[in-house]
C-alpha cells in the first residue's frame, strides 16, 4: 500500500516541470490579440452592412444607374403653374335668406385671394371690410337655393370675383374666390 501512496503523490512532486500549463501573458501583450479580434469583427460587420445596403439600393432602383424619378420640363403643358396668393379672410361668416318662398337660409364664409405683394390691395380690402360683408349678404339673398348648388359653385365664384373687381373695389384686383363654407338649409 505504500507504493500506491507514492504513485498518488507523483503529481505533487516538484520534478514534473514539463507537465505544467504555460503562463498567460499579462499587460499590453495580452490586450493586443483581443483588440485585434474585435477590430476584425467590427470591420467584417461594417463590410456586411455596406454590401447589404448597396444590393438593396440596386434592387430597389431597378438597375442601379437609372434614376426612378425625372424632373419634368417646366415649359411642358402638363406641369401645373401654381400661383400663390395672399388671402383676405376678414369678411367672416355671413348668414342670410335666399329668394325662395320656402324659408331657406344660406351660410357662407368666403376667402378673397389677391396678388401676394400687393399692399395696396390689402389696405383697400381692410378699409372696405364692411362693404364686402354687405355685398356678400346682398349677393346671396338675391339667389335661389337651386342657384347655390355645388354644380354652380365655379360660376358663383367667378361672378363674385367679377362684381368685386368691376363694381366694389377701386384698385385691388381679386384673383380667386374660395368658399370655406357654403351651407344652404331649408327651414321647416
For residue range 86-140, what is the model confidence (pLDDT) as tens digits? 999 999 999 999 999 999 999 999 999 999 999 999 999 999 999 999 999 999 9
Instruction: Indicate yes or no: pTM above 0.95.
Output: no
Residue 107 CB neighbours (<10 A): 14
Cell of 52: 447589404
56-83 pLDDT, tens per residue?
Answer: 888 887 654 555 566 666 676 766 677 8
State what percent of residues in the chain have pLDDT above 70: 75
Give me the pLDDT at residue 90, please.
93
Chain-centre distance of CA 80, in angstroms? Answer: 20
* Exposure string for 39-69, b = 16+ CB within 10 A, e = fewer: eeeeeeeeeeeeeeeeeeeeeeeeeeeeeee
Which residues fall within 8 angstroms of residue 165, CB to CB, at 6 or more apart?
Answer: 173, 174
Q: Where in the chain are the domains?
A: 26-65, 85-186
Q: 93-97 and 174-186 as β-strands: parallel, antiparallel, unpaired?
A: unpaired
The cell numbers describing 133, all together, are 360683408
User: How many other CB atoms are found less than 10 A from the CB of residue 110?
Assistant: 23
Each residue's pLDDT tens digit, 26-55: 666 778 888 899 999 999 999 999 999 998
Identify the residue whose cell numbers are 338649409.
Answer: 185
Residues in the chain: 188
Helical packing angle, 119-127 and 129-141, nearest 10°: 70
Find out if CATH 3.40.50.800 is the number for domain 85-186: no
Amino acid at each position: 500500500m505504500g507504493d500506491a501512496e507514492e504513485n498518488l503523490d507523483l503529481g505533487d512532486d516538484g520534478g514534473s516541470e514539463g507537465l505544467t500549463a504555460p503562463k498567460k501573458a499579462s499587460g499590453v501583450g495580452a490586450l493586443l490579440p483581443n483588440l485585434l479580434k474585435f477590430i476584425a469583427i467590427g470591420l467584417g460587420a461594417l463590410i456586411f452592412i455596406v454590401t447589404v445596403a448597396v444590393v438593396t439600393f440596386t434592387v430597389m432602383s431597378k438597375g442601379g444607374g437609372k434614376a426612378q424619378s425625372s424632373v419634368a420640363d417646366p415649359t411642358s403643358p402638363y406641369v401645373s403653374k401654381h400661383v400663390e396668393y395672399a388671402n383676405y379672410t376678414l369678411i367672416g361668416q355671413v348668414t342670410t335668406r335666399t329668394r325662395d318662398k320656402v324659408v331657406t337660409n344660406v351660410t357662407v364664409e368666403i376667402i378673397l385671394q389677391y396678388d401676394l405683394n400687393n399692399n395696396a390691395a390689402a389696405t383697400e380690402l381692410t378699409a372696405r371690410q364692411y362693404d364686402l360683408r354687405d355685398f356678400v349678404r346682398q349677393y346671396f339673398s338675391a339667389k335661389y337655393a337651386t342657384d347655390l348648388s355645388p354644380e354652380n359653385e365655379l360660376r358663383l365664384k367667378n361672378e363674385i370675383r367679377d362684381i368685386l373687381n368691376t363694381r366694389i373695389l377701386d384698385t385691388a384686383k381679386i384673383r380667386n374666390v374660395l368658399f370655406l363654407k357654403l351651407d344652404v338649409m331649408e327651414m321647416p
